[in-house]
Amino acid sequence: MKKKYLSLLSLFVAVLAFFSFKPQKPERPNIVFIMSDDHAYQAISAYSDKLLQTPNIDRIAKEGMLFTNACVTNSICAPSRAVILTGKHSHINGKIDNYFPFDTTNVTFPQLLQANGYQTAMFGKLHFGNNPKGFDEFKILPDQGHYYNPDFITKKQGKIKLTGYVTDLITDMTLNWLKQDRDKNKPFFLAYLHKAPHREWLPAERHYKEFINRKFPEPETLFDNYEGRGRASKEQEMNLLAHMNWAGDSKIRPENMDKLGIKESHPYDKGNYKATVGRMNETQRKEWDAVYDKMNAEFIQNYPNMTKEDLMSWRYQRYMQDYLGSIAAVDEGVGQVLDFLKENGLDKNTIVVYTSDQGFYLGEHGWFDKRFIFDESFKTPLLVKWPGVIQAGSRNSQMVQNLDFAQTFLAAAGIKAPSDMQGESLIPIFKGKGQNFRDAAYYHYYEYPSVHMVKRHYGIVTEQYKLVHFYYDINEWELYDRTNDKNEMKNVYHDPKYAKVRVELHKKLAKLRVKYKDSETLDKKYIEKYKELEAQGKIFK
Ligand code: SGN
Ligand code: CA
C-alpha cells in the first residue's frame, strides 16, 4: 500500500515537473560593433607588427577569430556603411558613393534589432547625411567630423560642441552609456565608431609627441611607376608625392610653404590645415606648435638638398607618424571598452567586432586613400570574439564581406533576416564550419570623376584571380594572378597563358552580376544621376 502511494506521489511530482518546465531560451547576445574609419589591416599587429603595436585590438583576435580575407563591396566610406546597415550591395541600397543621399526607406538591421527588443546606441562617425534610424540613443559627428573640439549631432540635446580629442570623447560617450544608460533587462547593440585614422590624421597630444620621432619601414612598392598596368592606375590622384597636401596632411605651415616656394597640392591644401589645426584652443595649439614647429624647422633646412626620392621617403614617414599616431588612441579606447565588459561580467555573452569601413594604402604603390579593388583597399580588417561560440585564437581565410554583418547580427539575435538581404550569416564560420563560404566576391566602385580620380570599375575576386572592368571614360579590362603576383603589379589580361582563365572569369562575373541584380542599365542610370549632381556643383574634385 505504502509502495503504491509512493509511486503515485512520484508520478504526480513528475507530471508537475513536466508542466512547470519551460525550455530555457538561450540568452540573446549583446553586440558591440567597433568600426574605425580608413584603418588599414597593415596597421594592426594581429595582422602584421611591422608598423605598429595594437595590443588591445589584438585581444579580440586572441580571444576570438582573425579574418585574413575579409573584404568590402565598394571601398569608400558612406557606401560601405550603407552596405553594412542594409545587407545590400550599393547598386541596390542606392548609396553608391559619398554624394548620393541615403534612401531612408531602406530597412537597416538596427531597426530590426530594436523592434525585437534590443536596446540600441551609436557613438561616433556615421557620415551619412542623415541621423541613424533604429537607435534609442546616438551622438554622431556631422559629416567627416573633426579631430579637435568636435561638434556632435545628438538624439537628445541637438547639436553640441565638445572640448577635447575626438577618439577619447567617443570612447567616453560609449563607456558612459554602458555605465549609466544601459537597460539591464534587454540585450544591447552598441555601435562604437571612430573617426580616426581618417585624413588629415591628427593624433592626440600624448601620441604625436612620441610618433613624430619614429621611423617606419618603407613598403616594397613605394616608388611604383605603374608600368604593366592600365590607365586607371596611372591616372589616379592618390600619390604621396604628387597629391598629398603639404600643409593639410604633412603639416608644413602655409607660411613655410610660401617661404620654400612649395605650391599647394590641391586647392584645399592650406585651407584644410587652417580648418583642422585651426580648431585647437590656445593650450592645445601651444603643445602642438612646440612639436610641429621643430619638424617644420628641420624640413626648411633640409628641403633645398632633397631629391625627389628623398621627398617621397620624407612624406611617407610624415604620413605614417600621424596616421599610426592617430590609431594609438583608438587602440587605447578599445582596451577600455573591453576592460569594462570584462569587469562587469558582460564579456561572456557579448559579440565584439572590430573592423574598418574599408582598407587603406600605407604607401603601397606610392599611394594613400582607398577606392581600388586592389588588395590594400579591397580587404579590410576583421576581428570577432564571442566566447562559447568562437574558439579563442582561431583564424579564418574565407572571403567574408561587410555585406554579411546584417544577416550575422540578426541570426545571432534569433531574428529572421528579410529575404532581399544579399549577404550570408557568418555564424557557421564562427562555429568552425563554413568551408567554401564564398568562392567569389563581387565589387563595384562608382565615385568618378571626383577627388583622387579613381575610375569607375567593377570586378570579381576569387582566391586565385581578380578580373576588373574599368569603364565610363575608358573601357579596359585587367586580370591579376593573386597567387603569383602578390603586389598586383602585372595585368595579365592579354597574356595568352591566361586565355582560359579569362574566359571562365568573364562567365563567372556575368553570373555574379545577375545574382546580385547589377547590370549595365543600372551602371548607366547611376552615371546619369551623378551627372545631375555634378551639374549642381555637388561633386568634390
Ligand atoms: C575627403 C578626403 C579624401 C577622402 C574623402 C572620402 N580629403 O574628401 O582624401 O578620400 O574625404 O573619404 S580631405 O582633404 O578633405 O581629407 S571617406 O572616408 O569619407 O570616404
Ligand atoms: Ca573611410
Per-residue confidence (pLDDT) for residue 223, from 0 to 100: 98
Q: Which atom of ligand 1 is nearest to the CA of 38?
A: 18
Expressed as residue numbers, the domain containing 428 is 31-541
| Residue 128 confidence class, pLDDT cut points 50, 70, 90 | confident
The answer on pLDDT for 5 being more than 70 is: no
* Burial (CB count <10 Å: 0-12, 13-18, 19+), residue 395: exposed
CATH number of the domain that residue 344 is part of: 3.40.720.10
Query: CB–CB of 467/482 below 8 Å?
Result: no
Residue-wise pLDDT for 415-472, tens only, equals 999 999 999 999 999 999 989 999 999 999 999 999 999 999 999 999 999 999 999 9
* In-domain check, residue 11: no
Contacts 24+ apart (CB under 8 A), 181-188: 181/121, 181/137, 182/119, 183/119, 186/117, 186/118, 186/119, 187/27, 187/28, 187/29, 187/30, 187/31, 187/117, 187/118, 187/119, 187/413, 188/30, 188/31, 188/118, 188/119, 188/120, 188/121
* Burial (CB count <10 Å: 0-12, 13-18, 19+), residue 391: middle
Which ligand is in closest contact with the Cα of 72? 2
Q: Whose CA is nearest to atom 19 of ligand 1?
A: 77
Alpha carbon of 511 to ligand 1 centroid (Å):
33
| Residue 286 confidence class, pLDDT cut points 50, 70, 90 | very high
Q: Whose CA is nearest to atom 5 of ligand 1?
A: 451
Contacts 24+ apart (CB under 8 A), 495-504: 501/465, 502/467
* Count of domains forming the chain: 1
Number of Cβ atoms within 10 Å of the Cβ of 227: 9
Q: What is the mean pLDDT of the chain?
A: 95
**Residue reference for cell 507530471:** 15
Decide: 369 in ligand 1 pocket, CB within 6 A.
yes
Q: Which atom of ligand 1 is nearest to the CA of 245?
A: 14
Per-residue confidence (pLDDT) for residue 1, from 0 to 100: 44
pTM (whole model) above 0.85: yes
391 to 25, 366, 408: CA distances (angstroms): 22, 38, 17
Query: CB–CB of 156/181 below 8 Å?
Result: no
Q: What proportion of the chain, given as a percentage, has pLDDT over 90?
A: 94
* In-domain check, residue 21: no
- Indicate the pairing of strand 382-385 with strand 137-141: unpaired
CA separation for the pair 370, 98 (Å, rounded): 13
* In-domain check, residue 409: yes
Mutate to test the pocket of ligand 1, among 38, 199, 276, 445 (most ligand atoms within 8 A of CB): 199
Residue-wise pLDDT for 51-106, tens only, equals 999 999 999 999 999 999 999 999 999 999 999 999 999 999 999 999 999 999 99
Neighbours of ion ligand 2 (CB under 5 A): 37-38, 77, 357
CA separation for the pair 346, 350 (Å, rounded): 6
Per-residue confidence (pLDDT) for residue 26, from 0 to 100: 65
* In-domain check, residue 487: yes
From first CA to last CA, the distance across the chain in angstroms is 96
CA 346, 347, 351, 355 torsion-angle sign: positive
Decide: 121 in ligand 1 pocket, CB within 6 A.
no
| Residue 131 confidence class, pLDDT cut points 50, 70, 90 | very high
CA separation for the pair 139, 118 (Å, rounded): 18
DSSP 3-state of 479: strand
* In-domain check, residue 20: no
Residue-wise pLDDT for 315-338, tens only, equals 999 999 999 999 999 999 999 999
* In-domain check, residue 22: no
**3-class SS letters over 256-293:** HHHHHCCCCCCCCHHHHHHHHHHHCCHHHHHHHHHHHH
Alpha helices in 344-420 (DSSP H): 375-378, 405-412
| Residue 130 confidence class, pLDDT cut points 50, 70, 90 | confident
| Residue 373 confidence class, pLDDT cut points 50, 70, 90 | very high
* In-domain check, residue 9: no
* Burial (CB count <10 Å: 0-12, 13-18, 19+), residue 462: middle
Mean pLDDT of 518-530: 98
CA separation for the pair 2, 10 (Å, rounded): 12
The answer on pLDDT for 2 being more than 70 is: no
